[in-house]
Amino acid sequence: KAGVTQTPRYLIKTRGQQVTLSCSPISGHRSVSWYQQTPGQGLQFLFEYFSETQRNKGNFPGRFSGRQFSNSRSEMNVSTLELGDSALYLCASSVTTPSELYEQYFGPGTRLTVT
Amino acid sequence: QKEVEQNSGPLSVPEGAIASLNCTYSDRVSQSFFWYRQYSGKSPELIMSIYSNGDKEDGRFTAQLNKASQYVSLLIRDSQPSDSATYLCAAGDYSGGGADGLTFGKGTHLIIQP
């Protein structure tokens, strides 16, 4: 079974621009979560989507948004990029039902550099 | 504010010995606990999950959970140089409307010395 895929793997953007990252979950996984990883803050939860609905959101500004499509693929968007947005953005997918506790499997990540 | 605390290390262990990694969590409602391994420049890889008090063994790995003490540990037996990595502890909970995102510790850097 193929793992989580993320595109692009590397991205360089200029401050003020916007960026869209894409994630395809493991086949059969309907939950997709996004995380930001930086050396200083570690791994931080951005948001989670299930059946095209955002169920939970972390403590990030509104410049960070996302969506999920009917095939469970997900995108996240960051508008008005700041230097501090430089990070590894990780997507994780999981099998989940409302009564299950779940395991999350990470994709390879997108390395975003803002200059 | 949910927090997961880990000793950042580095933790240096001789090859063949047992490596013991620990973490504590602040949120008593956390129900699920995970250990991830992350090699430099790579993404986290799930190696163990544990939901109930006690021990859970998988090959050379044993996860231990003590909810009363809010403490999770990972033991790696017969440590190999390939086990050298950063180990991330994560806690999650189910809030009824959907599972919350995982809260991660900042990781323990483990070095296995040949």
Residue B46 near chain A (CB below 8 Å): yes
Contact B104 A43 (CB under 8 A): yes
User: Among A56, A101, A106, whose Cβ lies nearest the Cβ of B101?
Assistant: A56
Contact B34 A96 (CB under 8 A): no
Which whole number is the average pLDDT over B82-95? Answer: 89
Mean pLDDT, rounded, of chain B: 92
Half-sphere exposure of B72 (CA within 13 A, CB side): 31
Q: Is the pLDDT of residue B87 over 90?
A: yes
User: What pLDDT does B96 receive?
Assistant: 44
- Cα–Cα distance for residue pair A72/A4, rounded to 1 Å: 11
Torsional sign, CA A21, A45, B12, B47: negative
For residues A49 and A32, the answer to whether their CB atoms sit within 8 Å is: yes
User: What pLDDT does B94 receive?
Assistant: 60
Structure tokens at B2: 């949910």
Tell me the DSSP string of A1-58.
----EEE-SEEEE-TT--EEEEEEPPTT--EEEEEEEETTTEEEEEEEEETTEEEEE-
pLDDT band of residue B97 (cuts 50, 70, 90) is very low
Q: Least CA distance to A90: which residue of chain B?
A: B43
Mutate to test the interface with A, among B102, B103, B109 (most CBs of A within 10 A): B102
Token pair 């550099």 is at which residue?
A: A113
User: What pLDDT does B30 receive?
Assistant: 82
Q: What is the pLDDT along chain A (115 residues), one digit of tens a residue?
A: 689 999 999 999 999 999 999 999 999 888 899 999 999 999 999 999 988 999 888 999 999 999 999 999 999 999 999 999 999 999 999 876 545 557 889 999 999 999 9
pLDDT digits (tens, 9 = 90+) for B14-57: 999 999 999 999 988 888 899 999 999 999 999 999 989 999 99
Tell me the DSSP string of B16-52.
TS-EEEEEEES-TT--EEEEEEE-TTS--EEEEEE-S
User: What pLDDT does A97 receive?
Assistant: 59
User: Among B88, B98, B106, whose Cβ lies nearest the Cβ of A56?
Assistant: B98
For residues A91 and A66, the answer to whether their CB atoms sit within 8 Å is: no
Structure tokens at A31: 């939950």
Q: Any residues with CB less than 8 A from the CB of B58 and at least 6 apart, and which?
A: B47, B48
Structure tokens at A30: 């309907």
